[in-house]
Chain A
Amino acid sequence: MTVVESETARQPSQGLGRRVTFPRVVRAEWIRFRSLRSTWITLAVTVVFVIGLGALFTAARAAHWPPRDPGELVTFDPTRTSLGGTFLAQLAVGVLGVLVVTGEYATGMIRATFTAVPRRLSVLSARSLVFAVVTVLVLVPSCVLAFVLGQHFLSPKHIQTDFSAPGVTRAVIGAGLYLVAVGLLGVALGWLLRHTAGAIAVLVSLLLIIPILVHFLPDPWPDRISKWLPGEAGQALWAVRPDPNTLAPWAGFGVLMAYVAAGLIAAAFLLHRRDV
């Protein structure tokens, strides 16, 4: 091998870079995010769940309209039906949030990451920021598209709604923001637990299992507790009809974001203290 003879290892300082700054860490995190195929696949799966299932639910509803049960004539919510895919999409985006962190621990990349940026909190902040911006840009439009497509499928039966109806715009945008928040919850759990399987198990428990368990409690505890759980609280943001058992839309989303913030702060604290 003759490369040894070249003088490549020692070059004038041009292009050799300077100090580590937060904007540079953000840029590195963006390259890190976009340079993994699995990231885009998981994000695409999330989008397919939101739009595909929304289309499926609305098309199926229109095909079977009016419903056999007259009660459904009253409870039917065209916005919620078109956003039904969010229930499955939240798992995909949550897993994506977990993986952008635990993927580094599983492969050992985390050591290279913290060797380049010893101030670990700036890695945590930059990664959360990049994740939030990308998922907002992808998932909010996906929810808008799911809504528009869903109303298109419902329109032959004249049961569609539109953005001018009260609460609809907030609900459609809110479904996208809800997904972003769940993804960030995954990011926080990834930092806290550092293992993919464990973090996903906790995420699924928080979103799906604990809400079921709560219903085994005697009245009035289920109603008292449910609305404060992260999933139930956040889902208030994309409900069009007010439900006496849930929090107000933005208050509920605030509670979900408080869970996210608490998770990230705990993660930052542990990240600072623990060995890599």
Chain B
Amino acid sequence: MRLIELVGLTKRYGAKVAVDDLTVTIRPGVVTGFLGPNGAGKSTTMRLVLGLDRPTSGTARVNGREYVGLGAPLREVGALLEARSLHAGRTARNHLRVLAATHGIGPSRVDELLEFVGLTEVANKRVGAFSLGMGQRLGVAAALLGDPSVLLLDEPANGLDPEGMRWIRHLLSRLAAEGRTVFVSSHVMSEMQQIAEHLVVIGRGRLIADCPVDEFVARGTGFKVRVRSPRLAQLVALLVDAGAVVEEERDAAEVSGLTAEEIGELAAGEQIVLHELAPVGASLEEAFMQLTSDAVEYHGMDRP
């Protein structure tokens, strides 16, 4: 078993509900994106899975067991938390050695991972001086220490430059291809489209969608792609034919109902030059406002 199972998972902080009756199973072999606007409960869910927070009700199980009951957690689950989880005064190598020692993982594995994430040259530097991107790489190394079958990464793209983004994208898809369960959160739809095949979407702690990325996009949840082209009119006609809804501006158009990849391929098929092809992230937040405001109204009626 290499999966994460959440059953009726609920976490309240006082009157505030952070995670609300979340039931979902994250499966191995594909990268599963965990999508939601800031404050949707993604980080709380991750903390619940890792046993850092206690659920108010419901359960979170990894490989069939609660995290706290795992005998060798780092060998089963690797985690990269959004908030920095390292002591600024320690060197990168010593940070990993501390964690490795708890499982009897040797120093050679630590050096191997430092090499793997490209931090060998700064291994003896204190991590307080690290950039956000270097901190993320160190976090990835820590997550991989025990060669785990399940990976949990909270906003791994945070602070990464484009090269770092490419690196993490390749790494995650390879880890998934090896048969691992890879669960990655983000609040940016365009990032998820690049990284994930499957999506778990939450808003205000509630499950909104659990489906392949393509299906979520096709549902027309307000996700748009901005295009510019010297032959815009011809392109728009082509896209409308393909089933897209297009809002034209002076020299650009916002397309919903098609992914950036599909638009690019359609344009290439007709040899139309594109000057811009950009997923518009902001619209995702709008979609959430829409989706979650329904949930809140429903909630209100539910109360006595």
- Residues of chain A having any CB pair with chain B under 8 Å: 1, 3-4, 6, 8-11, 13, 15-21, 24-25, 27-28, 31-32, 35-38, 103-104, 107-112, 114-119, 275-276
Q: Closest CB-CB distance, B76 to chain A, in whole Å? A: 11
A13 and B71 contact, CB distance less than 8 A: no
Q: Which of B146-184 contact A (CB under 8 A)?
A: 146-147, 163, 166-167, 170-171, 174-175, 178
B90, CB-defined interface residue at 8 Å = yes
A107 and B100 contact, CB distance less than 8 A: no
Given A8-B116, A9-B144, A111-B81, are A17 and B100 also a contact pair (CB < 8 Å)? Answer: yes
The docked-state distance in angstroms from the alpha carbon of A179 to that of B204 is 50
Q: Which residue of A lies closest to B97 (CB)?
A: A31
The docked-state distance in angstroms from the alpha carbon of A18 to that of B74 is 9
A31 and B116 contact, CB distance less than 8 A: no
Known: A16-B105, A108-B86. 11 other contacts (CB 8 A): A4-B170, A16-B109, A18-B72, A18-B104, A31-B101, A111-B52, A111-B85, A115-B77, A115-B85, A117-B102, A276-B47
Contacts of B77 in A (CB 8 A): 115
Which single member of B51, B94, B95, B117 contacts A114 (CB below 8 Å)? B51
Query: Closest 6 interchain pairs by CB?
Result: A17-B105, A17-B103, A28-B101, A35-B94, A8-B116, A112-B85
The A-B contact count (CB < 8 A) is 149
Q: Which residue of A lies closest to B73 (CB)?
A: A118
The docked-state distance in angstroms from the alpha carbon of A209 to that of B189 is 56
Q: Which residue of B lies closest to A39 (CB)?
A: B89
A20 and B102 contact, CB distance less than 8 A: yes
Q: Which residue of B lies closest to A36 (CB)?
A: B89
A17 and B112 contact, CB distance less than 8 A: no
Q: Which residue of A lies closest to B11 (CB)?
A: A275
Contacts of B74 in A (CB 8 A): 17, 115-116
The docked-state distance in angstroms from the alpha carbon of A240 to that of B276 is 85
B85 and A28 contact, CB distance less than 8 A: no
Q: Which residue of A lies closest to B116 (CB)?
A: A8
A116 and B103 contact, CB distance less than 8 A: yes
Given A13-B147, A16-B109, are A35 and B90 also a contact pair (CB < 8 Å)? Answer: yes
B112 and A8 contact, CB distance less than 8 A: yes
B75 and A16 contact, CB distance less than 8 A: yes
Which single member of B47, B95, B106 contacts A17 (CB below 8 Å)? B106
B99 and A107 contact, CB distance less than 8 A: no
Contacts of B170 in A (CB 8 A): 4
B52 and A35 contact, CB distance less than 8 A: no
Q: Which residue of A lies closest to B118 (CB)?
A: A3
Given A116-B74, A116-B103, are A9 and B116 also a contact pair (CB < 8 Å)? Answer: yes
15 pairs across A/B with beta carbons < 8 Å?
Answer: A1-B167, A8-B113, A9-B175, A9-B178, A10-B147, A15-B109, A17-B146, A24-B104, A27-B101, A31-B101, A36-B90, A108-B81, A115-B52, A115-B74, A115-B85
Q: Which residue of B lies closest to A112 (CB)?
A: B85
Contacts of A109 in B (CB 8 A): 85-87, 90
Q: Closest CB-CB distance, B50 to chain A, in whole Å? A: 5
The docked-state distance in angstroms from the alpha carbon of A21 to that of B170 is 35
Contacts of A118 in B (CB 8 A): 50-51, 67-68, 70, 73
Contacts of B54 in A (CB 8 A): 275
B102 and A4 contact, CB distance less than 8 A: no
B167 and A4 contact, CB distance less than 8 A: yes
Which single member of B67, B75, B102, B115 contacts A25 (CB below 8 Å)? B102
Q: Closest CB-CB distance, B75 to chain A, in whole Å? A: 7
Q: Which residue of A lies closest to B166 (CB)?
A: A1
Contacts of B109 in A (CB 8 A): 11, 15-17
B68 and A115 contact, CB distance less than 8 A: no
B73 and A116 contact, CB distance less than 8 A: yes
Given A19-B71, A27-B101, are A35 and B91 also a contact pair (CB < 8 Å)? Answer: yes
Q: Closest CB-CB distance, B18 to chain A, in whole Å? A: 11
Q: Closest CB-CB distance, A113 to chain B, in whole Å? A: 8
**Most A C-beta atoms less than 10 A away, residue of B67, B70, B87, B170:** B87
Q: Which residue of B lies closest to A103 (CB)?
A: B87
The docked-state distance in angstroms from the alpha carbon of A142 to that of B163 is 53
Q: Closest CB-CB distance, B151 to chain A, in whole Å? A: 10
Which single member of B53, B88, B171 contacts A276 (CB below 8 Å)? B53
Contacts of A110 in B (CB 8 A): 85
